[in-house]
Amino acid sequence: MEVYDVAVIGGGIVGCAIARELMRYSLRVILLEKEIEVGFGVSKANSGIIHGGHHSSPDTLKGKLEWEGNQLWDALRDDLDFGFKRIGEITIALSEEQIPTLQQIKAQGEQKGVPGLELWETEQILKAEPHLSPNIVAGLYAPTTGVVNPYEACFALIDNARLNGLEISTKNPVLGLDYREDVWQINAQKGVIYSRFVINAAGLFADQIAEMAGVGNFKIYPRKGEEYLLDKRLNGYIQRVIFPCPTPVSKGILVIPTYDGTLMVGPTAEQVEDKEDLTTTAAGGQRVFEAVMQYAPGISPRDCIAEFAGLRPVADGEDFIIEPSSRPGFIQVAGIQSPGLTAAPAIALLVLEILQDSGLALIPKDDFIAKNPPVIRFASLSRTEHMTLTQEHPSYGRIVCRCEGITEGEILAAIARGAATLDGIKFRTRAGMGRCQGGFCTGRCLELLSRELGCPIPALTKRGGESWIVRAREEVLNR
């Protein structure tokens, strides 16, 4: 019987961060993910904001880890080569009655040691962001806020973990758990796995995994957020993340300049029952644009080029649950809603402390590889670099996605790194994210996937499961 030291259940941003930190040590680790690729659950539809560190109360676990995590993203970006930059934010007040909320957020940020927080008056806000409404009466500026491509960060973390020896099993949901003779038996769809320690980082399904382990003392409630991506003509229209004053259940409906420059607006915050409900609605879109147009009146629903929804895994009490369970070797990492992306690197370090306290020996590897090989992003290269690269590798001279300027060479490299679906290519390269939303490049991406994976096109999917894109001719004729 082969026994792993640690099994991580869940390949979202938190599970990937934990896996990467574990691979710094002489351990045998496996990560189990029910989707076809990591990052395809909660993390895929994340807003991509690295929160400044001041939004959550220092009296909560998520408030503590928010600021600790914020400070770790620069080093991660430098090592793993994914998109991240600090662009700052302004939390705005639309009435005098909201100013005390800004003052309270500023005070809790200063209590945590967040630097650079400033209360701005209307004139200063409009000087920095001239396209905001003059009806804004005040704002709280935070320079520490950043934006990241969350799916790209997931892939970078897992690529590095695999480079250092992580085993990963996708399309492999956990069906049951049993603890016998100091070892956890994980009954997964693809077979039985044995491990001394189990990390429950299963996102929306963490309560179900906990139930299987006999430690189901919490419930996860999905909270849906609808988001809307805007046309590139608005690139630079707003340069910082704009927050309204928050409510008890939401940080509000925002304007978010994504890492790649495209503006995004949202999310809503709606409690739902179905953990698979990723629908967008006319009512949700109306709510988002009506809210945004109060403080950014130049933004219109006509600018929308894509819409999507994500689900936040909210636990009882709204805080993170990160702790050893009542059963030996089973660690809960649950309820990781906003600011979970921000906190992910700090969560990983906390989990390692818990594992060590629980008896896992952490012996550093002498040969740990901290940096990923660089990823070629053709559109960001100089003309001279374009010419040199295409002479050496002609596939980089063939444009596949004209909206984003993505080449065949980039898509082939993404497939070599593990892209097995259309979304896998999209999230690694941005092919299909532009104005035409894949109308021009989808066919060629499918051809390249089919050729490189040796898989017929009708068997390929958008994001795994039954999300097929093309029907076989025989299927159509037999309908």
Query: What token pair was written down for 319?
Result: 């805080």
Exposure string over 451-472, b if 16+ CB within 10 A, otherwise e:
eeeeeebbebbbbbeeeebbee
**Angle 304-310-314 (CA atoms, 0-180°, nearest 5)?**
145
d(CA 106, CA 143): 12
Question: What domains are there in the chain, each with its CATH number?
Answer: 1-84+147-219+316-372 (3.50.50.60), 89-143+221-307 (3.30.9.10), 378-478 (1.10.10.1100)
pLDDT in single tens digits along all 479 residues of the chain: 799 999 999 999 999 999 999 999 999 999 999 999 999 999 988 999 999 999 999 999 999 999 999 999 999 999 999 999 999 999 999 999 999 999 999 999 999 999 999 999 999 999 999 999 999 999 999 999 999 999 999 999 999 999 999 999 999 999 999 999 999 999 999 999 999 999 999 999 999 999 999 999 999 999 999 999 999 899 999 999 999 998 665 678 999 999 988 999 999 999 999 999 999 999 999 999 999 999 999 999 999 999 999 999 999 999 999 999 999 999 999 999 999 999 999 999 999 999 999 999 999 999 999 999 999 999 999 999 999 999 999 999 999 999 999 999 999 999 999 999 999 999 999 999 988 999 999 999 999 999 999 999 999 999 999 999 998 766 654 65
Per-residue pLDDT, 472: 76
Residue 1's pLDDT is what? Answer: 79
Query: In 277-339, which residue ranges form alpha helices assigned H by DSSP?
Result: 282-295
Two tokens at 289?
Answer: 């644009």
The DSSP result for 167-218, as a single string, is EEE-S--EEEEEEETTEEEEEETTEEEEEEEEEE--GGGHHHHHHHTT----
Across-strand partners of 247? 250
Residue 382 burial by CB count (10 A; 0-12/13-18/19+): exposed, middle or buried?
exposed
66's enclosing H/E stretch is helix 61-70
Query: What radius of gyration do the chain's Cα atoms show?
Result: 23
Residue type, 166: L
Measured CA to CA, the distance from residue 383 to residue 360 in angstroms comes to 52
pLDDT of residue 475: 61
pTM given for the model:
0.95
119: number of Cβ within 10 Å: 14
**Beta-strand pair 263-266/254-257:** antiparallel
pLDDT of residue 435: 85
Question: For residue 408, which phi and psi values (nearest 5 degrees)?
Answer: -60, -40
Residues classed as catalytic: 51
Neighbours of 376 (CB within 10 A): 16
Residue 211 neighbours by CB under 8 Å, 6+ apart: none
Q: Locate tokens 């179905």: which residue?
A: 274
Q: Are 153 and 375 in contact (CB under 8 A)?
A: no
Q: Locate tokens 């499961």: which residue?
A: 465
The reported pLDDT for the residue numbered 252 is 87
- With tokens 């480079």, the residue in question is 163
Whole-angstrom distance, CA of residue 270 vs CA of residue 257: 23
In whole angstroms, what is the distance from residue 83 CA to residue 377 CA? 11
User: What are residue 186's phi and psi, to 5 degrees?
Assistant: -105, 110
Q: What is the pLDDT of residue 124?
A: 98
Query: DSSP class of residue 282?
Result: H
